[in-house]
Amino acid sequence: MSKRLKNSKKGTYIDLFSGCGGLSLGLGNAGWEGLFAIEKDPMAFSTFKHNLIDGVHSHFNWPEWLPIEANTIQNVFANYLDELRALKGKVDLIAGGPPCQGFSLAGRRNAKDPRNQLSEEYVKMVEVISPKYLLLENVRGFNTPFKTNDEENIKLPQSIIIKDKLEKLGYSIFTNYLCSADYGVPQNRIRFIMIGIRNELINKDFKNPFDILEESRRDFLITKGLPLKRVKVCDAIGDLLVSKNNLAHHSGSEKKGFKKIDYIPPKRQSKYLRVIRKNSGLKKPNSLRLARHKPETIEKFQRIQSICEPGKCLNNSMLLEIGTKKQAITVLNANEPSKTLTTLPDDLLHYSEPRILTVREMARIQSFPDSFDILGKYTTGGNRRTKECPRYTQIGNAVPPLLGEALGLLLGDFEIGVKNDGK
């Protein structure tokens, strides 16, 4: 991606399964203009709307025929099919990350999870609108076959099924795994990325987009003011230590309620922090509420921090010593990028303080700027866990904005090139 194009308007996009807006934020920062987004969860959509439609990161020209509210892709098809058909040839990019719970290698993979079929809805939207470019993000398991009891009847990876359908619609499809840490994100988050380009836009000089992305990675980091080495966790959240800030009352009673970090912006900032705090001035970010840990929980966390190897899950003997069966507990390594964040806040402990991370610390590790507010409940539990998307879940599910921006710049260079060729 050339530096001269970094601020050029790239084209119009639709974000499907948008969540709280990590991918849209990145695309907007890369110069793309949003048309609309589809997200079914009201809490996630409230965060999206607050920041990307109404707020300082606004870049959507929302159509009058579509209500600005949480919605499902099925409902949009059912009620606005004529309006969607009228967009054919007028949208440059369809982006999105279909729900990944049924594919994730970190959970219980389920080939019959109904959420898996939502990637088929992505294909249906592509067929109706026929954009120039496609961008799909998902977990690594999206590209992994489902094992069955019958070894001769292994279900194909969802990526292969989707790729075949998109190719039949007239797209050249390119896939790869990308690590967010390579694009300035302080997290070793590896994701499967699919890029589609309409066949008629590919000429004899065409080059694989992932090769271009790798070649331009250094320029991307330099242009953003990010370090060329992978960003350490301490450079991302070290200024949010309780020991470096004051505590303030957040909610509930004074004795039993929640406290929050009363943030004091540091005088000296890491390169990463300068990017994350850009244009924030003395403004304090939201979502700094601290978990209300019981004394025995704090003692357990201190014990875990004393025996673990930072950055690695507890082994079986450590789990036995602590008296827990929870396999995924990891203490952050302050001097390395974080392991992949999940939607469960108690999977990851702070590197020096006996507590889980705040939502804002998770947002920092995902590369959300401090100017991006996260809204909704902080957590949820029980049978609501699969039905609601509170703040921790919103951030854990999100596409890191910096990775989204790098991909947006890549696709934007293709679009600018197509426009120039057409002159």
- The pLDDT tens digits of the residues spanning 147-206 come to 555 555 556 788 888 999 999 999 999 999 999 999 999 999 999 999 999 999 998 888
Q: Is the distance from CB of 376 to CB of 391 less than 8 angstroms?
A: yes
Given this model, what pLDDT does residue 170 score?
Answer: 97
Lowest-confidence pick of 103-117, 149-163, 212-226:
103-117
Strand order in the sheet with 33-38: 33-38, 12-16, 93-96, 133-138, 190-198, 171-179
Chain CA centroid to CA 157, Å = 22
Lowest-confidence pick of 1-10, 96-105, 262-271:
1-10
Given this model, what pLDDT does residue 116 score?
Answer: 55
User: Model confidence at 5, in pLDDT bands (50, 70, 90)?
Assistant: very low
Which residue would you say has higher pLDDT here, 320 or 385? Answer: 320
Average confidence score pLDDT of the chain: 88
Which residue would you say has higher pLDDT here, 356 or 421? Answer: 356
- Distance, CA of 339 to CA of 187 (rounded, Å): 6
Q: Residue 383 pLDDT more than 80?
A: no
pLDDT in tens, 243-274: 999 999 888 766 778 999 999 999 899 999 99
> Is 100 assigned a catalytic role?
yes
User: Model confidence at 373, in pLDDT bands (50, 70, 90)?
Assistant: very high
pLDDT in tens, 393-407: 999 999 999 999 999
What mean pLDDT do residues 291-301 have?
94
Q: Domains plus CATH for the chain?
A: 3-229+401-421 (3.40.50.150), 233-397 (3.90.120)
Q: Residue 341 pLDDT more than 90?
A: yes
| Residue tagged active-site, from 20, 100, 308, 389 | 100
User: Model confidence at 103, in pLDDT bands (50, 70, 90)?
Assistant: very low
- Distance, CA of 238 to CA of 52 (rounded, Å): 27
Distances (CA, A) of 271 to 155, 222, 268, 373: 45, 11, 10, 22
User: Model confidence at 50, in pLDDT bands (50, 70, 90)?
Assistant: very high
Q: Which of 129, 192, 114 is nearest to 166 (CA)?
A: 129
DSSP for 312-375 reads: SB--HHHHHHHT---TT-EE--TTSPBPPP-S-GGGEE-SSSSSBPPHHHHHHHHT--TTS---
Q: Give the largest Cα separation in the chain, rounded.
A: 70
Given this model, what pLDDT does residue 224 score?
Answer: 97
pLDDT > 70: what percent of the chain? Answer: 87
Q: Residue 301: in which H helix or E strand, if any?
A: helix 295-307
What mean pLDDT do residues 222-251 have?
95
